[in-house]
Amino acid sequence: MSTEVSNVEELAIKDYKYGFQTEIETDVIPKGLSEETVRAISLKKDEPEWMLEWRLKAFRHWLTITKENEPAWANISYPEVDFQDIIYYAAPKQKISLNSLDEVDPELLKTFEKLGISLQEQKRLTGVAVDAVFDSVSVTTTFKAELSKLGIIFCSMSEAVQEHPDLVKKYIGSVVPYTDNFYAALNSAVFSDGSFCYIPKGVRCPMELSTYFRINTSGTGQFERTLLIADEGGYVSYLEGCTAPMRDENQLHAAVVELVALDDATIKYSTVQNWYPGNSEGLGGIYNFVTKRGACRGKNSKITWTQVETGSAITWKYPSCILQGDNSVGEFYSVAVTNNRQQADTGTKMIHLGKNTRSTIVSKGISAGKSNNSYRGLVRVHKKAENARNFTQCDSLLIGDKCGAHTFPYIEVANKSAKVEHEATTSKIGEDQLFYLRQRGIAMEDAINMIVNGYCKDVFRELPMEFAVEAQKLLSISLEGSVG
Amino acid sequence: MLTVKDLYVRVEDKEILKGINLQVNRGEVHAIMGPNGSGKSTLANVIAGKEGYEITGGEVTLDGKDLLDMLPEERAREGVFLAFQYPVEIPGVSNASFLKTALNEIRKHKGLEELDAMHFLKFMKEKMKMVGIDDNLINRPVNQGFSGGEKKRNEIFQLQMLQPTLAVLDETDSGLDIDALKVVSHGVNLFRNKDNAVVVVTHYQRLLNYIVPDFVHVLVSGRIVKSGGKELALELEDKGYDWVTNTVPAAETV
Amino acid sequence: MENTRSKDWYISSFKKIEESLNGESKTPFHELRKNAISKFEEFDFPTIKNEEWKYTNIAPLLKYNFKQVTGVKISKKDIEKFLIPGLKVNLAVIVNGNYVPELSHFYKQPSGVRIESFRNMVLNDPEFLMKYFGKYASIDNGFVALNTAFAFDGTVLYVPDGAIIEDYIHILNVSGAEGENVLSQPRNLVITGSNSKVRIIESYHSMADNENLTNVVNEVIVGENADVEIYKLQNENMKSFHVNRTQAYQNRGSVFTHYSVTFGGSIVRNDTNTLLDAENCTGNLYGLYLTEGSQHVDNHTLIDHAKPHCQSNEMYKGVLNDSSRGVFNGKVFVRVDAQKTNAYQSNKAILLTSDAMIDTKPQLEIYADDVKCSHGAAIGQLDEEAVFYLRSRGIGEELARTVLIRAFANDIFETLTSQILHDHLNHIVYAKLK
C-alpha cells in the first residue's frame, strides 16, 4: 500500500535520473564490424577455439542476411542503423582478474551505487546476488561463494566460457540459434558478455539473482548474452535492470537471452527496462532490439516472463516460451509504457508443442504523448499438442489524443482439443475515475499515476517486491508531462 | 460559507440551471429536493467542478473564494466534498492508499504535516470504527465489486476521513435499504458540527427523517421554487411535487 | 514459375479482349481498365510473403488457365434450385460473370431506381458509371487489379434519395461450363441516396463440377441515413476458387450491415471492408463459415473509423471439419480524430477434427484516445457443461454435440429480419452439420 503512495511523492523527479556518464578509462576496440572485429573480441576474452568458431559462423551467416532482411514487419520506424559506426567492445580498464571487490575501480562502484545497486555484499540487506555489466563486460558478481555451496553457478558469460565450457557448449544457441533472426545473428557474432546461471538438480535458489546492465561509453552497442539453465526440479528467480546515460545519439542494444527449464524446473525472469528513451523531441535514446526465449524442455516445467518496459526510444522484443515438455507452463506479464516519441512493439510467443501445456498472457500497454505502443503476440498450438490452453488479456490505455495503441495478436491452432481465448480492450483513461480522485483533493497527474498503477496491478503482482516498487516509480516518471 | 448567486448552467444546448441562489452557513444542513431532471445533481457537480457543464452566468463562492475558478482538486483541498451518486470503481488502486494520498494532499494544502503510514493507519482505524466499515473494504480497490450500500458507506467513510467544511451528498439514499440508510445517516450526523455544513440532495423525504435539515429548498426545472424549514419536506412528501409546481407558477414567471 | 506464367496468361487474355473491343478501346472508361492491367502487372498475384496473405496460399489456383466463357445456355428451371424458397425477390442473374436479362426480373420500383447491367452502363451511360467506379475499392492487390481490368459486366443498382426498395434484390451468380475452367469477374456497384433502404442477396453457385475462378469486386456507397444490408452466400462447388472484395463507403448517419456466409469453394478469400467516413454511422459485419474436406476459407475484414461518433459491431464464427482450414483477420482501425468510437469485434471457431486448423488475427489499430474498442477471440471446443446438461436430459452425446454446434453457428443469424431467409440459412446449416 505504501508503495503506491510513495511513488506519487516521487513525482518531484522530473528527468531521467540515470542520465549521468561515468568518467572511467575504457579499453575499446575501434568502431566497425568485420571478421577482424569478431576475432579481436574473442581474443580479448581469451576464448577457446570452439567459441571463436561459433562466433564466426554466426558472423558469416549475418553477412548473408544483412540489410533487406533487417526486420521490417514491426510497427516501428527508425533511420537505418549503420553497423559500421558502432563500437562493439568497450570495457572499463582494470586488472585482468579480480580477487575481491576491493580491486574494482572505485569509479565503477560509485556508478552502481548511484544507480542504487550496491555491489558490496555486506551492504545488501535483502538476498539479491548481482552480476553488474558495464558496457561490454561483467564487472563483478556478488554472493558467488554462498551460491556455489549449493552448486549454483552464477557468473559472467566470459567466465562461464572459461570455467564451464561443457555447459555453455551444450546450451548456447540451443534456444535462440544464430540463424534465428538478424539481431540474434549479430549478437552471436559479437556478444561481449552477459550473465550465466546454472541451477543444479533439485536446488531452489535461495536468493534473487540479478544482472544490472549499464551502457556508458558513447557510440557503443551493447550485445550481451544471457544463458540460464534450471536443471530438473530447480528453481530460480532472476531479475534484470538496465540504464544508460542521456545522449543525443541513438545506441543499439541487441541482447539475446536463453532460458532452459528441464523437468519440473521453474524459471521466473523479470525485467525492468529503463534504457534512456530519448528526449521529448525524440532525439537520442536506445534502440532495444532483443531476442528473449525460454524453452520449457522438461515435463512440468514453467517459465514466467515479467517485464516492465518504460525506457528506450524503440523497443522491439518478444520474450517467448517454447512449451515442449508435457504439462509445461508459459506465462508472460507485461507493462509497456510509451511517452513523448517512444515506440514499442512488444509481446510474446507461446508455442505449444507438448501435451497439456498451458500459457497465460497479460499485457498492459499505456500510450501517452506522441508515442506508439503495439502488442504483437503469437499463440501457436501444434497438431500434436493435445489439450493446450491459452488465455490472453491485452489492454491498452490511451492518455492524450496524439498517441496510438495497437494490438496484433496471431492465433494459430491445429489441434481440436485446444482452448484459446483472447480478449483485448482499448480505451481512454477514465474521466469519471479522474474526477473522483480529483474531487478528493488529488492532483491530475497524481490521479493519472494512481489509475495507471492500478491498471497494471496484475503485472506488478508478478514482480519480486523490490522490483515492484522500482517499477511503479518508473511508471510515474515516464508518464511525466503526459497531460497537457 | 457557500454562496451561490444567480447561477446559470447549460449542458450542450440545454439550460439546466436557471438562476440559482443559495446561502449555506456554518453549522447548517440544507436539503435540496426536486423531481427527476430538475437539476439537483447538476448543482452538486457544478459545485465540485465536474467537466461538461457550461456556466453561463452567476457565481459560486466558498468563504468568499471563487470556486468556479478552481480545479476540482483545489476545491476539494479548500474543503468541498462530493458524496457521489454513483461512486466509480478504480481497479488496482486500494482504498487505503488512495485515502492516504488524498488526506495528505489536503493536509499539505492546509499547511499541516503529512501523516506517515503509522499515524495514518491509526487515524483510519478510528474512523473505520466510527462509520462501521470493515478491513476488507479498506484493502480492496476503490469501490471495485462493492455493493450499492458498500459504495455509499465508503463515501461516508471518506467524508469522515477527509473532514471537509462543505459536504454535498448527491442522492446518497438512492439504492439503500433502511438499515444501510440508518448507518449512512449516522455517519453524516457524526460529521456535522458548528464549523461545517452539509447540503443533502435528494428526491425523497425519507433520508431527511435521519438527517434533519435546517432548510429545505425545492428545485424544479432549474429554479428554486420554494424554500422553508424541515416541515416543507414533509409537506412535499404528502402532496407530491405537483403541489409546488402548481402552486408557484407565478414565482416562475417573475 | 507458375505465378509468372499465370500473370502472362491474364495479360495476354486482356490484350485479346482489347483487340475485339473496336471503338470501346478508345473510351475514357477503357483507360481505367488499361491502368488496372498495368497495376496487375506490377502487383501480380499475392504470395504468402505478403502479410495480408500470410495464411492463404493461392498457388493451387495458378495451376489453371481460367478463361472467360460466354454463351452458356441456361434456363429458368436451372436457376430455380438456387433461389431461396418462398422469398419474394427482384432477381438479377449473372452467368459466368455476364448479366442475363432474360433470366432476371424486377417488380415495379420507386421512381428513379435503376437496376441494370454493368455492361449497359459502360455502353450507354459511362459518365454516370465513372463517377463511382473504382473510387472506393482501391487497387491494392492483384485480384482487385484483375477484376478492374476485366470490368465488363455485373450489376449496377442506383437507389435515389428517400427510395425504399421493399423486396430483396437477389444478385444470383452461376459459374461453370462443361469441360472449361471458367473465369467470372463480375463487378457490382450499389449507390444509395439519403434516407434510402435496400437489402441485397449476393449468392454464388456452380453448374458444372469443374474448377472455376470467381473474382468479384463490389463497391457500395451508403447515403446519408441510408440503411443497406447485404447477404453474401457462397455456395459454389468444392473445387471453386472464390475471391471477393466488398468495399462500403458510409455517409453520415448510415447503417451498413453485411453478412458473409461461406459453405462452398475450395479456396475462398473474402475481403469485406467498410469506411465510416462521417459521423454517427453504424457498421455491422457478421460472418459464418462451415468448412469440410480440404476447404480453405479466409475472411479478412477492415472496419475503418475515420470520423467521430460511430460504432461498429463484428462477429465471425467458424466450424471446421475434416482437414479444412479457416483464417480470420479482422482489423479495426480508428483514425486520428475519430473520437467517441465504439467498436466491438468477436471471432470464434470450433475445430471438429484433429486435422482442421484455424489461424486468426484480430487487430486493433487506434490513433484516437476517446474510444471504446474491444475484441475477443475464442478457439476451442463446445462447452462440456452444456453437453453434459443435454445428456442428463436424455439426449445422446453425438446429438447433443450436433445440437450445440448448430446453435453456435445459427447464432449469427439471430439478428436477421427476414424469417424466410433465417429459416433457409438454418436449414443449410442443419444439413451441413448432420
Chain B partners within 8 Å of A364 (Cβ): none
Cα(A230)–Cα(A263) distance, integer angstroms: 9
Average pLDDT score over residue span A269-288: 82
Per-residue model confidence (pLDDT) at position A279:
77
Average pLDDT score over residue span A189-214: 87
Q: How confident is the model at residue A66 (pLDDT cuts 50, 70, 90)?
A: low
Give the pLDDT confidence of B195-224 residue by residue, as tens digits: 999 999 998 888 999 999 999 999 999 999
Across chain B, what does the average pLDDT equal? 89
Name the burial class of residue A89, with classes exposed (0-12), middle (13-18) and buried (19+) by CB atoms within 10 angstroms of its CB. buried
Q: Is the Cβ pair A406, C365 closer than 8 Å? A: yes
Chain A partners within 8 Å of B142 (Cβ): 436
Measured CA angle at C112 (ends C110, C116), to 5 deg: 100
Give the pLDDT confidence of A95-125 residue by residue, as tens digits: 444 445 555 566 666 666 665 555 554 444 4
Minimum mean pLDDT range among A29-33, A191-195, C266-270: A29-33
Q: Which one of C336, C366, C377 has the shortest CB-CB distance to A426?
A: C366
Residue of B nearest to A432 (CA): B88
Per-residue model confidence (pLDDT) at position B246:
66
Give the pLDDT confidence of C233-250 residue by residue, as tens digits: 999 999 999 999 999 999
Size of chain C, expressed as the number of residues it contains: 434
Q: Between these two residues, A82 and A435, which has the higher pLDDT value?
A: A435
Q: How confident is the model at residue B241 (pLDDT cuts 50, 70, 90)?
A: confident
Is there a domain that residue C359 lies in? no
Chain A partners within 8 Å of B82 (Cβ): 439
Instruction: Identify any residues that bridge with A421 across adjacent strands, giving them in sequence order.
Output: A391, C378
Residues C98/C188, Cβ–Cβ less than 8 Å: no
Query: Has residue C152 got a pLDDT over 80?
Result: yes
Identify the domain containing residue C419 by its residue range.
Answer: 382-434
Cα(A338)–Cα(A259) distance, integer angstroms: 27
Say if residue C270 is in the same domain as residue C386: no
Residues A336/A315, Cβ–Cβ less than 8 Å: yes
Query: Has residue A136 got a pLDDT over 60?
Result: no
Per-residue model confidence (pLDDT) at position C264:
94
Average pLDDT score over residue span C61-71: 91
The residue from C278, C311, C346 where one domain ends is C278
Is there a domain that residue C287 lies in? no
Q: How confident is the model at residue C278 (pLDDT cuts 50, 70, 90)?
A: very high
The residue from C227, C257, C278 where one domain ends is C278
Nearest to B32 by CA among B189, B222, B251, B242: B222
Cα(A329)–Cα(C94) distance, integer angstroms: 55
Per-residue model confidence (pLDDT) at position C32:
95
> What does pTM read for this prediction?
0.84
Chain B contact residues (CB < 8 Å to A): 48-51, 71-73, 75-77, 80-82, 84, 87-88, 90-94, 96-106, 109, 117, 139, 141-142, 158, 162
- Chains in contact with C via at least 3 Cβ–Cβ pairs below 8 Å: A
Is there a domain that residue C228 lies in? yes
Cell numbers representing residue A195 in the block = 550473465
Distance (Å) from the C-alpha of residue B56 to the closest C-alpha of chain A?
22
Distance (Å) from the C-alpha of residue B63 to the closest C-alpha of chain A?
18
Query: Has residue A475 got a pLDDT over 80?
Result: no
Contact yes or no, B with A (3+ CB pairs under 8 Å): yes
Residue of A nearest to C328 (CA): A411
Q: Starting from the edge strand earliest in sequence, which strands make up the sheet with B14-24, in order?
A: B14-24, B2-11, B54-62, B65-66
The residue from C278, C298, C316 where one domain ends is C278
Q: How confident is the model at residue A140 (pLDDT cuts 50, 70, 90)?
A: low
Q: How confident is the model at residue C55 (pLDDT cuts 50, 70, 90)?
A: very high
Please tell me what DSSP assigns to residue B113.
Answer: P
Q: Is the Cβ pair B101, A442 closer than 8 Å? A: yes
Residue of A nearest to C352 (CA): A416
Query: Has residue C39 got a pLDDT over 90?
Result: yes
Cα(C385)–Cα(C391) distance, integer angstroms: 10
Say if residue C403 is in the same domain as residue C274: no
Chain B partners within 8 Å of A4 (Cβ): 93-94, 97, 101
The count of structural domains within chain C is: 2
Residue of A nearest to C50 (CA): A73
Residue of B nearest to A459 (CA): B92
Nearest to C412 by CA among C290, C326, C323, C264: C290
Residues C211/C266, Cβ–Cβ less than 8 Å: yes
Please tell me what DSSP assigns to residue A6.
Answer: H
Distance (Å) from the C-alpha of residue B214 to the closest C-alpha of chain A?
26
Residue of A nearest to C339 (CA): A401
Say if residue C98 is in the same domain as residue C246: yes
Say if residue C55 is in the same domain as residue C192: yes
Please tell me what DSSP assigns to residue C105.
Answer: B
Is there a domain that residue C259 lies in? yes
Distance (Å) from the C-alpha of residue B109 to the closest C-alpha of chain A?
9
Query: Has residue A13 got a pLDDT over 80?
Result: no
CB atoms within 10 A of CB C17: 15
Distance (Å) from the C-alpha of residue A134 to the closest C-alpha of chain C?
38
Per-residue model confidence (pLDDT) at position B252:
41
Q: How confident is the model at residue C94 (pLDDT cuts 50, 70, 90)?
A: very high
Contact yes or no, B with C (3+ CB pairs under 8 Å): no
List of residues 6+ apart from C1 with CB closer than 8 A:
none
Is there a domain that residue C240 lies in? yes
List of residues 6+ apart from C10 with CB closer than 8 A:
C40, C146, C149
- Cell numbers 450500500 correspond to B149
Give the pLDDT confidence of A375-389 residue by residue, as tens digits: 999 999 999 999 999
Q: Which parts of C162-289 fold into alpha helices (H)?
A: none
Chain A contact residues (CB < 8 Å to C): 73, 383, 396, 398-401, 403-428
Is there a domain that residue C144 lies in? yes
Cα(A458)–Cα(C45) distance, integer angstroms: 45
Distance (Å) from the C-alpha of residue A471 to the closest C-alpha of chain B?
15
Give the pLDDT confidence of C358-408 residue by residue, as tens digits: 999 999 999 988 899 999 999 987 777 778 777 777 777 888 888 889 889
Per-residue model confidence (pLDDT) at position B135:
82
Q: How confident is the model at residue C272 (pLDDT cuts 50, 70, 90)?
A: very high
Give the pLDDT confidence of B25-48 residue by residue, as tens digits: 999 999 999 888 899 999 999 999
Q: How confident is the model at residue A73 (pLDDT cuts 50, 70, 90)?
A: confident
Q: How confident is the model at residue A310 (pLDDT cuts 50, 70, 90)?
A: confident
- Cα C133 to chain center, whole Å? 17
Chain C partners within 8 Å of A406 (Cβ): 363-366
Q: Is the Cβ pair B76, A446 closer than 8 Å? A: no
Across chain A, what does the average pLDDT equal? 82
Return the percentage of chain A with pLDDT > 70, whole number.
Answer: 79
Q: Between these two residues, A242 and B77, which has the higher pLDDT value?
A: B77
Residue of A nearest to B162 (CA): A440
Q: Is the Cβ pair A5, B158 closer than 8 Å? A: no
Per-residue model confidence (pLDDT) at position A482:
65
Average pLDDT score over residue span C12-17: 92
Minimum mean pLDDT range among A103-107, A161-165, A241-245, C232-236: A103-107
Average pLDDT score over residue span A271-284: 80
Q: Which one of B76, B77, B88 has the shortest CB-CB distance to A430?
A: B88
List the beta strands (DSSP E) in C352-426: 357-366, 372-380
Return the percentage of chain C with pLDDT > 90, whole number.
Answer: 81
Nearest to C134 by CA among C25, C220, C219, C31: C219
Domains and CATH numbers, chain B: 2-253 (3.40.50.300)
Is there a domain that residue C214 lies in? yes
Residues B210/B182, Cβ–Cβ less than 8 Å: yes
Chain A partners within 8 Å of C358 (Cβ): 411-413
Query: Has residue A10 got a pLDDT over 50?
Result: no
Average pLDDT score over residue span B129-158: 87
Return the percentage of chain A with pLDDT > 90, whole number.
Answer: 42
Nearest to C262 by CA among C200, C328, C323: C328
Residues C271/C330, Cβ–Cβ less than 8 Å: no
Chain B partners within 8 Å of A438 (Cβ): 49, 71-73, 76
Q: Is the Cβ pair C370, A401 closer than 8 Å? A: yes
Per-residue model confidence (pLDDT) at position A24:
64
Cα(A181)–Cα(B86) distance, integer angstroms: 53
Q: Which one of B76, B141, B158 has the shortest CB-CB distance to A454?
A: B141
Is there a domain that residue C49 lies in? yes
